[in-house]
Amino acid sequence: MLRHVHHGPGQKPRNRPWPTVLATLLAALSLAALLGAPALAAPPGPADLSRSIETARVAIAGHEKTIVSYDAEMRSLTGNDPASARRREEIRIIKQHYVREIEALKAKIIDDYKKIQEFKARGIF
């Protein structure tokens, strides 16, 4: 579809093909995305699993430091006023989150170690 721009006396109308060009380009990109084969990633190998384990260990150490700092803040809140009680409850919830994250990371490390042992048993490493 061509759009005409208003013109003054003695001027020819100018065609604006950009909407048509843009619609055609979007249709072509959509068709290419639909017809393209899905990209499959290779399963993680022993080196990838080792890096994953190291990353999880670093994350666990960071979470443990965070928990220690919240413990220190919790010990500093000695008052029974509503603000202190509310903050203690917030800290308990935050610490529970970090504890669950640490447990999940430890489970991932165990799973990665098992996969590495399977690779070693098959002679891949």
Between CA 87 and CA 77 the distance in angstroms is 8
Residues 98 and 75 in one domain: yes
Residues 27 and 50 in one domain: no
Residues 31 and 73 in one domain: no
Range in 28-37, 77-86, 91-100 the model is least confident about: 28-37
Residues 91 and 54 in one domain: yes
The 3-state DSSP class for residue 59 equals helix
Give how many domains the chain has, as a whole number.
2
Residue 55 has pLDDT above 80, yes or no: yes
Phi and psi at residue 7, to the nearest 5°: -130, 160
pLDDT at residue 124 in the model:
75
Q: Averaged over 105-121, what is the pLDDT?
A: 95
Residues 68 and 26 in one domain: no
Sign of the Cα torsion 13, 19, 20, 25 reads positive
123 dihedral zone (left: phi>0; alpha: psi -120 to 50; beta): left
Confidence at 45, pLDDT banded by 50, 70, 90: confident
Q: Is residue 40 part of a domain?
A: no
Residues 28 and 59 in one domain: no
Residues 28 and 61 in one domain: no
pLDDT digits (tens, 9 = 90+) for 20-41: 766 776 776 665 566 665 656 7
Between CA 79 and CA 109 the distance in angstroms is 40
Residues 79 and 111 in one domain: yes
Could you write out the DSSP letters of every residue in 18-48?
A: HHHHHHHHHHHHHHHHHHSPPP-PPPP-HHH
Residues 55 and 76 in one domain: yes
Q: Is residue 41 part of a domain?
A: no
Range in 4-8, 86-90, 97-101 the model is least confident about: 4-8
Residues 11 and 51 in one domain: no
| CA-derived radius of gyration, the chain | 30
Residues 55 and 100 in one domain: yes
Residues 20 and 76 in one domain: no
The 3-state DSSP class for residue 106 equals helix
